[in-house]
Amino acid sequence: MDQNTDQLGSAIEAFKAVVGQPHVLSDDASLSRYALSTGPAGTRPAAVVRPEASEQVQRIVRIAGQYRVRLYPISRGYNFGYGDACAPTDGQVIVDLGRMDRIIEVNRELHYCVIGPGVKQGQLADYLAKNAPELVLDCTGAGRDASLVGNTLDRGFGHTPYGDHFLHTCGMKVVLADGTELNTGFGAFDGARSGRVYRYGVGPFLDGIFCQSNFGIVTEIGLWLMPRPEAFSAFFFSVDDEAQLEAIIDRLAPLRRSGLLRSAIHIANDLRVVSSKTQYPWDRAGGATPLPDALRKQLRREHGVGLWMGAGSIEGSRGLVKQIKRELKRALKPVRITFMDERRYALAQRLVGLLNRFGLARGLTGQLRALRPVLDLMQGTPTDEPLAGVRWRLRGNLDEAQLDPRLCGAGLMWASPVLPMTGHDARRVMQTIEPIFAAHGFECPITFTMINERAMIGITNVFFDRRDEDETARAAACYDQLVQSLIDAGYPPYRTGPGGFAKLHAPAEAFWRVAGRLKHALDPEQILSPGRYLP
């Protein structure tokens, strides 16, 4: 679709009549801000429009169709490592839905909420803590300001038994490319009482086509909330033998499949954990990359981490939690497991405080402080702490208060393969990716997350310093090879950013042809997010 300057100018004036002049941005500073990215390079929008209601989104879409202007909706733009607030190409108009931040409903009886796309993780958590403390949301490590809707529509996941976010949605309101407002599921029936409790409705299940696509703009979504359990216990374990990774996964998998372990379980290597605690030790490494093995071992000792570390949670009645603890210890024996709940954490705090008086706590204070955000995430309280890990490869002193990675030069690109829940497949993934990281001069941080009863997602990424041109070029090459090699090995990603979209497409496959037909039927003029996932 061609877009000329006169058409864009006319569209911008029409947008101002819809949302008000202050909420249409076309100045250089604003456009540069939205072009910032944690990737090797961002894309520059033609303008930014900030609606506050679904009705305004309908009018914006109709204007875009009239003037043949391309739109790229974002919920809040905190999609770090997966494209941030950037469209796949320059010149698209960003539709920033951040002002649509209403918590429309929280149903305490049936345990669900209805929210707009601008609602932050921290915002909903705070609301529940004050108004419905018996309910828990599932959140990610993307920080308190990240959008719940944005993460859900990219099939993101968190930590609790409700960790698969899209699986726990029920009912959407979607604006299509012609301005039509669509309610999915039983929302299509006026007065239907089950629109937020039975997600399929009747007839075709349309909700799925609005995930990881460019078929419409979601302006409202229903999310199921988890009842706060009677008892909760986190569990942690650590192993120092590389060969134990396969055995650990194969022992945990039956507990996950049987339903005894219901939360997401994360198994991270030392590089993932160390990078979350500190910066790359440039001086100690003598500027060498990737991290030398001897220094890597030393960092493990200093930070008290193993070669592989696992974490998960157990929820339910007190008796059930106690029983599952026994089953878990039996399954992982002789690996030592540490259990932690709020009572034990408070006791540990008092003990460390006492030892500190005599100078005996040493690294215990830091370890206990690092444990707090992990416990919070497992219990539905978002935190900004995980964002610090993005700065691993930055050089020089950092502003610790600056958590937005785009503003401090931090580079980040995620490669997230899906694999069967077997130790053999985990080892194959490691054998595929470790040589690629090493060849390009980067470390290989990875977390294997047991996301459901049968599958894991391997969360690995390239950390780099965007201020270093050579490192940025090597990071881009490393990422390209990682994604392609994982696809070739049989482990495509569960989501990707703009740099990976083209690698997903196999024009001969019926899947992409059918997806293309749906796009043409719903958006024949390619108004919405051209280039996002679909070619």
Number of structural domains the chain divides into: 2
123 and 266, same domain (yes or no): no
* Structural domain includes residue 85: no
Residue 352 pLDDT? 77
pLDDT in tens, 76-118: 999 999 999 999 999 999 999 999 999 999 999 999 999 999 9
* Structural domain includes residue 178: yes
pLDDT in tens, 325-349: 999 999 999 999 999 999 999 998 8
* Structural domain includes residue 345: no
Phi, psi at 448, each rounded to 5°: -95, 120
247 and 395, same domain (yes or no): yes
CATH number at residue 124: 3.30.465.10
At residue 148 the predicted structure's pLDDT band, cuts being 50, 70 and 90, is very high
pLDDT in tens, 344-366: 999 988 887 776 777 666 666 76
Residue 363 pLDDT? 62
User: Given a cut of 60, is residue 147 above it in pLDDT?
Assistant: yes
Tokens representing 195 are 């629109």
Pair 121, 128: CB distance under 8 Å: no
User: Given a cut of 80, is residue 150 above it in pLDDT?
Assistant: yes
Q: Which residue among 176, 206, 227 closes a domain?
A: 227
* Alpha carbon distance 406, 412 (integer Å): 9
CATH number at residue 296: 3.40.462.10
Q: Which residues pair with 464 in a beta bridge?
A: 411
Top-confidence residue, 403 or 462 = 462
132 and 191, same domain (yes or no): yes
Mean confidence (pLDDT) of the chain: 94
The string of DSSP codes covering 244-279 is: HHHHHHHHHHHHHHHTS--S-EEEEEHHHHHHTTS-
263 and 185, same domain (yes or no): no
304 and 205, same domain (yes or no): no
462 and 332, same domain (yes or no): yes
SS3 12: helix
Residue 361 pLDDT? 61
The average pLDDT across 139-161 equals: 96
Q: Which residue among 172, 197, 227 closes a domain?
A: 227
The string of DSSP codes covering 345-376 is: HHHHHHHHHHHHHTT--TTHHHHHHHHHHHHH
Q: Which residue among 187, 206, 227 closes a domain?
A: 227
* Domain enclosing residue 133, as ranges: 103-227
